Structure 1
Amino acid sequence: MSVTRSLRCIGLAAATLAGSVALARTGATGVTGAAGADVAYPSRPITMVVPQAPGGGVDLLARLVMHRLASALGQPVVIENRAGAGGLIGTRYVARAASDGYTLLLTSPSHNINAVLHQKAGYDALGDFTPVALLARGPFVLVAHPDFEAKSTAELIALARKNPGGIAYGSVGAGSFNHLLGEMFNAAAQVKLQHVPYKGSAQAASAVVGGQIPLSFNSLPGALPFIRAGRLRALGVTTPGVSRLAPDIPPLSSVLPGYEGTTWYGILAPAGLPQPIVDRLSGQIARLLQEPGMEQSMVQLGAQMSYANPQDFGDLLAAQTILWRQVIEAANVRPAD
């Protein structure tokens, strides 16, 4: 299956998941074991591991959701930041934890990307985890310096085809999500934009604003202030259609059908988590996402609420692993030293 065809499949899956809040498929209040007896879960605090430093997108979303989950479950949910190695450290920790529902992981596409990119990732993105719930998605945007010759996605593609390898785009590092968005763009548009890695999002964004490079893929919330101030030009968002966060910016898919590159945020548990506990967690998460003010709070963090139950979330994870493997192998992406 080609990368472009995979992009279309992911886009179809995203459209299905975005509209589903399947409460009927999740548990209600208590947890019932296989023998029919009530299981006292949770009976002690739950640890939610975030494989990022405090203040990142995953961390902020975790703090928004977890205090509501604690209230619903009647036990504290403690955020534990285990950052390092691009998310590998925290993810490995959860993969090796007990399958009892007291250690969870709130993660993003780096979960699948790292497992493909690193030969010694230390975990299997699918086999070592139990999907619990997808919480939200977050759009990215392709931005250009205001003086860059191409003023639209179509013009960029035409220019890039005339000058293969001569137009640079920045990212936060080799194998990062926004690096791979660029490689997906290359494959879909049949062009060769030149990747320039930076050490962080601030440096990559500053390089485009300052005119050192003409392009980059950025999170839409982070880029919007620069776009509104005229310091960056938005060429297109990575969502399948227009984004509610910026409905005036066209999607890249309007020129490249099937292109989609939204980040996602979801909760996983170690493999083998008993189904009654999965149902209990997923059901409470589905309910808390419908609480008044939750959707607006997510929008303020740059995320769009998009619940998916464990089965659908697992399908998304499997599709993402296939997609990122194809992108990484086709572009011969190697992890940073």
Structure 2
Amino acid sequence: MTRSPSRPSRRVALRTAALLGACTLLPRHALAAEFPARPVRMVVPLPPGGATDVVGRLMAQKLGELWKQSVIVDNKPGAGTIVGTQVIARAPADGYTFGIVISAFTINPSLRTDLPYDTVKDFTPLSLLGFPVIALVAVPSFPADDVKGLIEKARAKPGSVSFASLGIGTATQLAGELMNVRTNAGMVHIPYNGSAPAYNDLLSGRVPVGFVLLDSALPHVRAGKLKVLGITNARRSRIYPDYPTIGETIPGYSLESLFGFVAPAGLPAPVGAKLSSDLIKVMQMPDVRQRLAELSVEPVGSSAADFAATIRSEITKWAPVVKAAGIKAE
């Protein structure tokens, strides 16, 4: 005959179950308060030295000061930012790996059918950092000082003018391809894995013009080694109003880029909320906003939900541009 447990035994069992339940819940509730308890990795999907890398290192430094933990920048360039972005997607969803993404993140879904991740499903959006300024630059010897002159030269002999970009599928490539579509300029695209290798060929004259982030170009412009023909933004930069927009020459032309932060999908909600709020907190620091302005980035610092909506809208926006330009992944 089976004996029913005594009343004291039942009390002990109930207390044990309650204690176990509390222990199970404790890590989830304590997760955000304890995070980060060790160094954190920030993946940058482009090589060191470019504007994206500079922005990433600025944010890493400030987050490290806020958290009293090291934030290690891990550059993973390649395949139009896909290599580094895949590293983020495949990392453990614990908050200790997150990364910066650029416009290629929302362009690649229209450009490639073989992405090793789902841009919407495999990531946790954290915050939209801001919008950098893309500039069309040329070597000083290039026989045109403005967009009109560039178009005339390119049209005169299609295929004679090549333009550098920061990689296949990046906004810098689409900036040139969009110009080709709007003007029949016939420029030839030369992709590079980031700013540093692009500038190697631009400064040596191997490629005469390029679409690059304005901040990374400015030291070369000030040194007289490059000249700015125009910027891709819809309006003139508030920081550098003397640079004309390409749209002032090509009606309707405009192209905005972006910087944002994402983590792997499945991130615990408390950790995701802390990462997002701390990124926003850093972006609201006056010295950070000033530095971002110096880097030609208009800071935003959006919520995670707003950035998720931006990602979806950008994917939708780029699809017809990629199709119209006939861009093919290599």
TM-score range normalised by the length of the shorter chain: 0.7 to 0.9
Partner of 1:101: 95
Q: Letter of the aligned partner of 1:107 in structure 2?
A: V
Matched, 1:321 2:315: yes
Q: Contact between 1:103 and 1:269, CA under 8 Å: does it hold in 2?
A: yes
Q: How does 1:214-253 map to 2 (within 5 A)?
A: 214-253=208-247
Partner of 1:295: 289
Question: Normalized per residue, which structure has more helix?
Answer: 2
Q: Letter of the aligned partner of 2:100 in structure 1?
A: L
Q: Contact between 1:205 and 1:218, CA under 8 Å: does it hold in 2?
A: no
Q: 1:100 is paired with a residue of what secondary structure? A: coil
Give the superposition deviation at 1:162.
Answer: 5.6
CA distance in 2, matches of 1:273, 1:262: 29
Partner of 1:333: 327
Partner of 1:40: 31
Matched, 1:282 2:255: no
Partner of 2:257: 263
Q: Contact between 1:115 and 1:123, CA under 8 Å: does it hold in 2?
A: no
Q: Letter of the aligned partner of 2:317 in structure 1?
A: L
Partner of 2:176: 182
Partner of 1:16: none
CA distance in 2, matches of 1:201, 1:286: 27
Q: 1:142 is paired with a residue of what secondary structure? A: strand
Which segment is superposed worse, 320-329 or 155-164? 155-164
Matched, 1:142 2:140: no
Q: 1:260 is paired with a residue of what secondary structure? A: coil
Q: Under a length normalisation based on structure 1, what TM-score does the superposition of the two structures give?
A: 0.75
Partner of 1:51: 45
Partner of 1:20: none
Q: Under a length normalisation based on structure 2, what TM-score does the superposition of the two structures give?
A: 0.76
Q: Assess, with a 3 A threshold, how the Cα gap between structure 1 residues 167 and 80 changes in structure 2: closer, same or farther.
A: closer
Q: Assess, with a 3 A threshold, how the Cα gap between structure 1 residues 52 and 168 changes in structure 2: closer, same or farther.
A: closer
How many equivalent residue pairs? 302
Q: Letter of the aligned partner of 1:99 in structure 2?
A: A
Give the superposition deviation at 1:238.
Answer: 1.6
Matched, 1:92 2:83: no
Q: How does 1:21-36 map to 2 (within 5 A)?
A: none
Structure 2 gaps, min length 5: 1-24
CA distance in 1, matches of 2:198, 2:269: 43
Which segment is superposed worse, 275-284 or 124-133? 275-284
CA distance in 1, matches of 2:230, 2:82: 31
Give the superposition deviation at 1:118.
Answer: 3.7
CA distance in 2, matches of 1:43, 1:227: 41
Q: Letter of the aligned partner of 2:325 in structure 1?
A: A
CA distance in 1, matches of 2:308, 2:126: 8
Give the superposition deviation at 1:155.
Answer: 4.2
CA distance in 1, matches of 2:167, 2:117: 21
CA distance in 2, matches of 1:327, 1:300: 30
Identity of aligned residues (%): 35
CA distance in 2, matches of 1:166, 1:136: 35
Q: How does 1:161-200 map to 2 (within 5 A)?
A: 164-189=158-183, 191-197=185-191
CA distance in 2, matches of 1:79, 1:211: 31
Q: Assess, with a 3 A threshold, how the Cα gap between structure 1 residues 187 and 291 changes in structure 2: closer, same or farther.
A: same
Give the superposition deviation at 1:86.
Answer: 3.9
Q: Letter of the aligned partner of 2:174 in structure 1?
A: L
Aligned-residue CA RMSD in angstroms? 3.2
Q: Contact between 1:138 and 1:302, CA under 8 Å: does it hold in 2?
A: yes
- 1:300-322 deviations in whole A, cap 9, x for unaligned? 44533222222222222223223
Q: Letter of the aligned partner of 1:131 in structure 2?
A: P
Which segment is superposed worse, 279-288 or 224-233? 224-233
Q: Assess, with a 3 A threshold, how the Cα gap between structure 1 residues 283 and 155 changes in structure 2: closer, same or farther.
A: same
Q: 1:236 is paired with a residue of what secondary structure? A: strand
Q: 1:127 is paired with a residue of what secondary structure? A: coil
Q: Letter of the aligned partner of 2:211 in structure 1?
A: F
Q: Letter of the aligned partner of 1:136 in structure 2?
A: G
- 1:89-142 deviations in whole A, cap 9, x for unaligned? 332232133333332122212323344434332111122112110113221211
Q: Contact between 1:44 and 1:76, CA under 8 Å: does it hold in 2?
A: no
Q: Contact between 1:139 and 1:261, CA under 8 Å: does it hold in 2?
A: no
Runs of 4+ in 1 over 6 A off after TM superposition: none
Q: Assess, with a 3 A threshold, how the Cα gap between structure 1 residues 315 and 200 changes in structure 2: closer, same or farther.
A: closer
Structure 1 gaps, min length 5: 1-33
- 1:225-244 deviations in whole A, cap 9, x for unaligned? 34334443322112222224
Higher alpha-carbon Rg? 2
